[in-house]
Structure 1
Amino acid sequence: MVNFVLVPGAWLGGWAWDAVAEILREEGHSVYPVTLAGLAERHGADAAQVGQAQHVEDIVSVVESNDLRDVVLAGHSYSGIPVGQAAARIGDRLRRVVYVDSNIPTDGKSFIDGWSQEGRAWVEGQLGESGGFWPPLAAEDYADQDLSDEAIALIVSRSTPHPGRSISEPAHLVRPIGELPTTYIKCLMDGAEPSREVAEQLKSPEWELVELPTGHWPMFSQPAALAKLLTGPA
């Protein structure tokens, strides 16, 4: 049996993995959903100052404090950046990294460094208007992503503003991510092809690409299919 450490994307807490975690536990696995600092139950007045380096520490701490081995470390969306860094930090405790339609870390670059000038101006404007937070999406932003009305209502009601510093702080890699055994899950309703950065890493013999015909939030839209992909790699 495997230890799954599941890290949610922007605005979400460990609760986002509830349906997937239930399936994995029923199969006999141990599951550790992570709520990153500054989000969900860890959201507080100083949350805007939480950087993604703290999020790396959050993930490593879950692995080390529970003395986990044979770890599948999965990150969705934004959290692929701290997950990729944490995976290199935990050494032989790692079984596999799984990026769930996520960003991946590039040494010295942040989440927003690859954005267009217009995109950066937009998000920086949001941070300025909200006191250093990246505001959650509205219900209409989840349209056409294979989500039920109930799932959208749940996501919107439980999302919290995301710490702005975490999306502008650069990543620091202690080992190239291409050396780590990795599965990249591409959700096809959020774009048919992986990003240029992901495509480059997929040249590594350690990486594999799998596709899921759903939207960007498969833990809500297709939890059983996602759980099967998480358990699939050897």
Structure 2
Amino acid sequence: MKTSLKSFLVIIVLLIQNYTAQKRSDSIDAFITHKMKELKIPGLQLAVIRNEKIDHLSHYGLANIEHGIATKNNTVFSINSMTKAFVGVAVMQLQEQGKLKTNDPISKYITDIPENWKKITIRQLLSNTSGLPNNIDEKEQVLGEGIESKNWEIVKTLPMEFSPGEKFSYNQTGYFILGKIITQLSGVHFTKFIEDNQFKPSKLLVTQFGDSNDIIENSAGAYSTIINNDGHWINDGKLHNAYATSHSFSGQLQEFCLQQKT
């Protein structure tokens, strides 16, 4: 009798757990579906991690609107400027190796810079508080027709936006310089340094640098309701195709996208 009672209680507990998990899953799905409609998100993947394990894994909507292709768990999405986090990790890895300190002035590593750039620190580049002029225009196009030497010479002639450390302003030039520093100190292009020291150890086997020109298996389309109108970015509430064009010198920094499959 006791054994039967124990078995019965175990079954009840499992049923309650399954019901609770299903109820939580339904709640998550309802929330995501609502937000996708509200924010005009065509498709996404979702992973909920609980106690270092995947508690919920799902995909929603369309990966490609034009052809009505549904999002799957192996759909590859671009993550754009989220790549800056990988650059930050690369800098900290070099600091752990004793090759730099984040409080160092950039002039310690980059010499061909204007006088008023020389006291800017690596920390200020990382935190977007450098005051450097942006090396992209108001339409987010890289200055100098995408040519590294021209871009570098042009941006050095532009005035500072504010004194270093004065305030926050999202900036691409700072991360371009960080890429140059990583390349110089590591002896390899910064993209390879990130691949070797972050992607491979973390087994991010399908994570890669790329852009809209690359043919990437299972790649989702990129869409946005934000569009540039005569140099002004506006949200017109309609979905538009979004394109990312990379440049070999800037890599991830403003236009290279990391592609991540969950």
Q: TM-score, normalised by structure 1?
A: 0.28
Larger Rg: 2
TM-score by length of 2: 0.26
